[in-house]
């Protein structure tokens, strides 16, 4: 059997498959079950110091499309295919004092498995930057192997938290720097995909000292409106707020965001998230340069922590390495990033042999618009 272990940001993972920060990692028992099932690591549900009260109603629902038609709905019905998860769940509603003993006992029971603590604080003033540092000191003293800074939660009212930090390169840099001042363990940062040019936030985050970037969190979205009731399929008293889309629907979008970053920073470390439920999905992120991947939606749908998902991911990777043994591939390092260089500007894609194309300009030398054709 090939060895699936991998070194990412200097730490060894038994395999490159992690549970992402989400309901599968919200408790000690879930995390222990995840290790038993074979996950190489877990990222805890995000831990914060500010007050958290979730909505009075379901926090997550799943969007399904009819197999035989075009209906897309959250309504539970037979003969459908899962398209996406939709959630407006906040970070962990358990306080840091609840989490720290749990982290300690998880690490005592599973010292070889990687435990990444996801944390979140504000970024608007020194007190909030101090809160980041309090969280870091707590989780690292409890034994976490790495920290993931949540600059990506899409449903924050506060302008100095979650995705609102990830949309502001200065806040990305300053918050990462504050964390790095006290961190003795590795610092990963989870960026929101909801920005115009994620390379700018990634550059600022690396400038602040991040050891790796993870992406994507869920994409901002609304639930659909039912044609029968004219209500949003998720609502409380008829009202809804923007929530996050995850699962299969975001795989291509998340890959595009990730590719922008891995191309801009080919020597940096990235953890790919979004729409993964099989090794074939994960392979996309690896071929673009990611060193680990993380899974949320698919695991939530599979006995809460994804025992069948991790079994498929590892057996899929074994089969892939076996199929490619002739190329001398024995580990992820042998194929990581192999397709990163295949994404080019549109004008660099071959045209038919007799056609020239200069990126929408009249020709390669002359800038401007083409002459209007006859009758224009
Ligand atoms: C119900 C739910 C809760 C989530 N909570 C968090 C969270 O607390 N912190 C975080 O960084 N990401 C959170 N996420 C985002 C996931 O970690 C992940 O980035 C996203 O769902 C995309 O991955 P997927 O397509 O495998 O679901 C949550 C996702 C869902 C569906």
**For residues 46 and 90, what is the distance between their CA atoms, to the nearest angstrom?**
9
Q: Of residues 153, 212, 295, 298, which has the active-site annotation?
A: 153
Residue to substitute in 17, 19, 20 for testing ligand 1 pocket (most ligand atoms within 8 angstroms of CB): 20
Question: 292-295 and 17-19 as β-strands: parallel, antiparallel, unpaired?
Answer: parallel
What's the rounded Cα separation, in Å, for the pair 228 and 181?
55
In this predicted structure, the answer to whether residue 365 has a pLDDT above a threshold of 70 is: no
What's the CA gap between 155 and 88, in Å, rounded? 6
Peptide bond into 216 cis (omega under 30): yes
Q: What are the pLDDT digits (tens) for 282-313?
A: 999 999 999 999 999 999 999 999 999 999 99
The confidence band for 358, taking pLDDT boundaries of 50, 70 and 90, is confident
Q: Is the minimum distance from the CB of 89 to ligand 1 under 6 angstroms?
A: yes
Counting beta carbons within 10 angstroms of the beta carbon of residue 276, is it exposed (0 to 12), middle (13 to 18) or buried (19 or more)? buried
Q: Is a pLDDT exceeding 90 seen at residue 2?
A: no
Task: Answer yes or no: is the C-beta of 23 below 6 A from any ligand 1 atom.
Answer: yes
pLDDT band (50, 70, 90) for residue 360: confident
CA separation for the pair 158, 71 (Å, rounded): 36
Mean pLDDT on 212-224: 98
| Nearest residue to 219 via CA among 152, 268, 160 | 152
Nearest protein Cα to ligand 1, atom 19 = 217
Rounded to whole angstroms, the Cα distance separating 358 from 154 reads: 39
Instruction: Return the pLDDT at 38.
Output: 98
Q: Examine the residue annotation and report whether 290 is marked as an active-site residue of this protein.
A: no
Dihedral Cα 213, 157, 249, 322, nearest 10 deg = 30
What digits encode the pLDDT tens for the residues 131-152? 999 999 999 999 999 999 999 9
Instruction: State how far the Cα of 2 lies from the Cα of 338, in Å rounded to an integer.
Output: 20
For the chain, the C-alpha Rg in angstroms (whole number) is 22
Which numbered atom of ligand 1 lies nearest the CA of 295? 26
Give the model confidence (pLDDT) of 333-350 as tens digits: 999 999 999 999 999 999
Ligand 1 within 6 A of CB of 113: no
Strand partners, 272: 215, 293
Cβ–Cβ under 8 Å, residues 290 and 271 = yes
- Alpha-carbon distance 222 to 243, whole Å? 6
What is the model's pTM?
0.96
């Amino acid at each position: 059997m090939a060895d699936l272990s991998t070194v990412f940001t200097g730490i060894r993972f038994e395999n490159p498959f992690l549970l992402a920060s989400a309901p599968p990692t919200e408790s000690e028992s879930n995390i222990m079950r995840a290790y038993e099932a074979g996950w190489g690591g877990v990222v805890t549900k995000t831990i914060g110091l500010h007050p958290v009260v979730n909505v009075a109603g379901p926090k997550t629902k799943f969007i399904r499309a009819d197999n035989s038609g075009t209906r897309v709905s959250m309504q539970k019905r037979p003969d459908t295919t899962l398209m996406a998860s939709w959630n407006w769940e906040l970070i962990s509603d358990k306080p840091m004092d609840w989490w720290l003993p749990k982290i300690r006992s998880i690490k005592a029971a599973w010292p070889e498995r990687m435990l990444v603590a996801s944390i979140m604080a504000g970024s608007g003033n020194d007190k909030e930057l101090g809160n980041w540092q309090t969280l870091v000191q707590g989780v690292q003293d409890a034994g976490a192997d790495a920290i993931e800074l949540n600059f990506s939660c899409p449903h924050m009212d506060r302008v100095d938290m979650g995705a609102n930090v990830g949309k502001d390169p200065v806040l990305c840099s300053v918050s990462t720097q504050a964390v790095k001042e006290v961190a003795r363990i590795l610092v990963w940062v989870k960026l929101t995909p909801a920005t115009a040019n994620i390379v700018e936030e990634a550059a600022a985050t690396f400038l602040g000292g991040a050891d790796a970037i993870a992406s994507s969190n869920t994409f901002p979205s609304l639930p659909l409106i039912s044609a029968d009731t004219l209500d949003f399929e998720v609502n409380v008293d008829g009202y809804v707020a923007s929530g996050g889309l995850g699962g299969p629907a975001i795989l291509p979008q998340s890959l595009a965001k990730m590719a922008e970053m891995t191309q801009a920073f080919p020597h940096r470390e990235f953890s790919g998230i979004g729409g993964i439920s099989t090794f074939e999905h994960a392979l996309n992120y690896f071929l673009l340069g990611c060193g680990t991947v993380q899974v949320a939606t698919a695991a939530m749908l599979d006995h809460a922590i994804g025992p069948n998902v991790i079994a498929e991911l590892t057996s899929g990777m074994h089969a892939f390495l076996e199929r490619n043994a002739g190329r001398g591939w024995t580990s992820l390092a042998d194929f990581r990033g192999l397709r990163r260089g295949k994404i080019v500007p549109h004008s660099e894609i071959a045209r038919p042999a007799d056609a020239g194309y200069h990126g929408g300009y009249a020709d390669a030398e002359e800038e401007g618009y083409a002459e209007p054709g006859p009758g224009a």
